[in-house]
Amino acid sequence: MAQMIARLKAQSIGLLIGGLTLTAAFFYWQHVTGERDAYRAEAERQRDRAEILLENQQYQRQQIRTLNESLAERDRTLSAIATDISASKAALEQLGERDEEARDWLDSDVPGGIADWVRQLQADGSGDARSLPDSAGAPDK
């Protein structure tokens, strides 16, 4: 009987150790799969975030291209305007060099009424060149 009790004790201890080992393995497996699932969810979230960032980067690049094209067009327009202004200045200088009356007119002061009219046009921004000043008046000194 004592041998039987000893054998039962040994078997129960073995079964208990086996059961504890299986329980520990099960809980460890649950922990590992939980971490794996958490890492997968984090990886998916990071992929979504990276996709959003890439879309934003593509949008920003498109905006930069559009801006560069607009600035290039603006530079071309400004260059054309500068060329026109230079040509007009050169034509006026040549006119002043060839025509004494034009040279005297170019060197004279602008009459007050005309100067006021030009200032008013610039302030209004309307560009209505048809409205004429009330009187030319004397040149401003």
Mean local confidence (pLDDT), 116-127: 74
Token code pair at residue 112: 């007050």
pLDDT, position 140: 52
pLDDT, position 122: 77
Mean local confidence (pLDDT), 65-80: 98
Q: Note the pLDDT tens digit of each residue in 87-104.
A: 998 888 887 677 777 767
Residue 111's DSSP bridge partners are: 139
Residue 96 contacts residue 103 (beta carbons within 8 Å): yes
Mean local confidence (pLDDT), 53-65: 98
Residue 108 contacts residue 139 (beta carbons within 8 Å): yes
* Domain extents in the chain: 2-105
Residue 137 contacts residue 109 (beta carbons within 8 Å): no
Residue 105 contacts residue 114 (beta carbons within 8 Å): no
Q: Count other C-beta atoms under 10 Å from residue 6's C-beta.
A: 10
